[in-house]
Structure 1
Amino acid sequence: MNPRIALVLLSCVLSIATGLVLSRGKGGSTAKKSGGLVIGLSMDTLKEERWIGDRDLFVAKARELGAEVLVESANSDDTRQLRDVESLITRGVDALVIIPHNGAAMARAVEMAHAEGIPVLSYDRLITGADTDLYITFDNVKVGELQAQFIADRLPPQGKLRLIRIYGAKTDNNAVLFKQGQDNILNPLIQSGRIEVVFEDWAEDWKPENAKKITNAAITKAGQGIDAILASNDGTAGGAIQALIEEGLAGKVIVTGQDADLAGCQRIVAGTQTMTVYKPLSVLAKQAADLAVKLASGRPIFAKEESDNGKVKVPSVFLPIYSVTEENLRETVVKDGFRSEKDVYGE
């Protein structure tokens, strides 16, 4: 039997029995011969504040653990991201960490990496249709549930709540999971008539300007009598709020978000955004770096959860999340050091 296949089978058996995951190891890579571990980090984009922070935290932690990180950003282009992966493989990385723009498109990247014996960690977004080694993320279905529950808890005593739903990018598996969680809470209320969805659409590439267009179209169709906007992240919330400002509705409509972006936190303080979901990104980035170094060095990893990616059940690490409003912003985002008091409150 092919030794790599045997190792994968052993990994699967141990994963089922104990949660233990064994990594694929290259053995004698160019990087290892030069005396140190090298991690390849293939990113979807660096155009959003959130991802710049992830990169910086990941690189710093990996270096602390003695590994070099080679970073490539694809500018939300699938073809470019595949080229980035090819480049990282050619440069002799010991492990590959991928934040996919399109989870399905990156299945090819996993195949290329495994052909060279390089293990792959899917970071925050799940790579689908591939034999991915490990996945680290937050519970993305729970993110959607927190967003939707926030709105459900604020239904009017009489009548129905009129809602705009703004989803993320169709190419992002996380956006699908956020919607799944939202649906878990909202569908019974929609079916009972307590909530009316007046407009819904997907924001291509998570761009705020696309969220603004969706909100403008919703108001044109349904009028100004909007009670809430379920925006799937803070960037799309910002785009929606810009449309509300133009209509004189900012602060009068419930607006959800996610990521605890600085701008999102500032809008919560200002009263134009109502909530965000705080995902401790510093924990995600640092733990991902630790896992990547373990994969690169062939050390065992314990992953108690699994995620079905359409081909295999990928060993997974889920991290906790928190619903944040003006009432607990200081006790969560600021207290953790994720955002400073001065930056958020201007004091």
Structure 2
Amino acid sequence: MIFKKHRLLVFLGLILIILASACSNEAKVEPKKTDEVKLTTDENKVYIGFVLDTLQQERWYKDKELFEEKITELGGNVKTLAANGSESVQLAQAKLLIEEGVDVLVVVPYNADAAAEIVELAHKANTKVISYDRLIKNADVDYYISFDNLKVGELQANEVLKHTTNGNFAYIGGAETDNNAVLFREGAMKVLQPQIDQGKINLVYDKYTDNWDPAIAEKNMLEALEQTSGEIDAVISANDGNAGGVVKALATNGLDGNIPVSGQDAELDAVKRIVAGKQTMTVYKPINLLAETAAEMAMKVAQNEEIETNNAVNNGKIDVPSYLLEPETVTKENIDSTIIKDNYLTQEEIYGN
């Protein structure tokens, strides 16, 4: 748990990486104060590295802050780096943290397959890897912690079917490089396929969304509307960011609020759309539970303590010891008893004064 020597060179390299990341084409938002790198000071403490795909979406700030707070509370040191949606930057950041001597590397992969190289590099340095929220594919990952992502897709499709049981459906997926996006679609199709086979549903549009970019989701939805002359009866959107793009596209055709649209992540804007009747549902995944459980796991792994798992998920190479949490449907009717009750969002944030 003692940092490796040549720390000054590593730190200078880190600054160059961060500058490169900030100049990346993916960086479209002004960094918040929470983007600043948290440097470690006590060399006798457990040192955890947290490598994020991005901080450009609302939910990842919550993960970052909650994870860091829990590690600190448990007596560890932590440094978080975000790659701004760049595969090469994420690899470079992981290398730097490994060279600094992190005891455990917790990774939210940008690219599920490419991140296998991070695992290989970490293991060469005897550093354990926890795959956080998104599964790293085809690698000897030590642990995986996430939500039941197949169930997320099932919840989305089931709630939409409560509002529309037939007609033309569009699926606006996430980034295909994200294994979760594949699982969300698989879960949704598990629900939709019987209806498709019976001829009740026509899946007229089915496309992933590069980089989970809401602007691309909007473009895809406009394409679906054009291809069907505006005849869309329901939309399964893989997350809330995409749902925002979908609703914008529907609005150009006067359809916003008239057809069901799913989402995920319980983002504030999405919950406001649910209240306004523009979005049908979101999937609430208690980020506080995910981040804090992951932090506890990381500290235990670093100290060679016994790790509790409740599942094993195959990543194409091994069955990864996993801990999966339960997601929950949120609609207009249960906002108060879910996300407000958990203080995930406040009543004032959602409804105003």
User: Does residue 127 of structure 1 match 2:136?
Assistant: yes
Alpha-carbon displacement from aligned partner over 1:50-92 (angstroms, at most 9, x marks no partner): 1111101100111101111111111111111110100101111
Instruction: Measure the CA separation in 2 of the matches of 1:323 and 1:345.
Output: 19
Q: Is there any run of 5+ residues in structure 1 with no aligned partner, and where? A: 1-26
- Alpha-carbon offset, residue 181 of structure 1: 0.4
1:306 matched to which residue of 2?
312
2:183 corresponds to: 177
Distance 1:265 1:151 in 2: 16
Aligned to 2:162: 153
Q: Distance in 2 between matches of 1:240 and 1:291?
A: 37
- Once the two structures are superposed, what CA deviation does each residue of 1:238-258 show, in whole Å capped at 9, x if it has no partner? 000011122211100100000
Q: Distance in 2 between matches of 1:28 and 1:276?
A: 44
> Superposition pairs for residues 4-43 of structure 1, below 5 Å?
30=4, 34-43=43-52
Equivalent position to 1:201, from 189, 207, 210: 207
Change (3 A) 1:87 1:324: same
How far apart in 1 are the matches of 2:147 and 2:229?
Answer: 36
* CA–CA distance in structure 2, aligned partners of residues 32 and 303 of structure 1: 32
Which deviations, in whole Å up to 9, do the C-alpha atoms of 1:270-322 show, x marking residues without a partner?
11001001000110011111111111121111212100001110000011111
Name the residue aligned to 2:228.
Answer: 222
- Partner of 2:26 in structure 1? none
The amino acid that maps onto 2:69 is A
Q: With structure 1 as the length reference, what TM-score do the two structures score? A: 0.89
CA contact (8 A) 2:163 2:260 kept: no
Instruction: Determine the structure 2 residue equivalent to 1:338.
Output: 344
Deviation at 1:155, TM superposition (A): 3.3
Identical amino acids, percent of aligned pairs: 43
**Which residue of structure 2 lines up, in the alignment, with residue 73 of structure 1?**
82
Q: Tell me the equivalent position of 2:269.
A: 263
- Residue in 2 that maps onto 1:248: 254
What aligned pairs does 1:269-284 form with structure 2 within 5 A after superposition? Answer: 269-284=275-290
CA offsets 1:27-50 (integer angstroms, 9 cap, x no match): 665489921111001110000001
**Residues in 2 aligned to 1:335 and 1:154: alpha-carbon distance in whole angstroms:** 26
Contact 1:255 1:275 in 2 (8 A): yes
Provide the C-alpha distance between the structure 2 equivalents of 1:325 and 1:259, rounded to a whole number of angstroms: 12
Q: Unmatched 5+ residue regions in structure 2?
A: 5-39
Separation in 1 of the partners of 2:338 and 2:162? 21
Q: Distance in 1 between matches of 2:317 and 2:204?
A: 36
Q: Comparing both chains, which one has the higher relative contact order based on Cα–Cα distances under 8 Å and sequence gaps of 6 or more?
A: 1
User: Is the 2:164–2:233 contact (alpha carbons within 8 Å) kept by the matching residues of 1?
Assistant: no
Find the aligned partners of 2:61 and 2:89 in 1 and give their Cα distance: 19
Matched residue of 2:244: which SS? helix
RMSD: 1.4
TM-score, normalised to structure 2, is 0.88
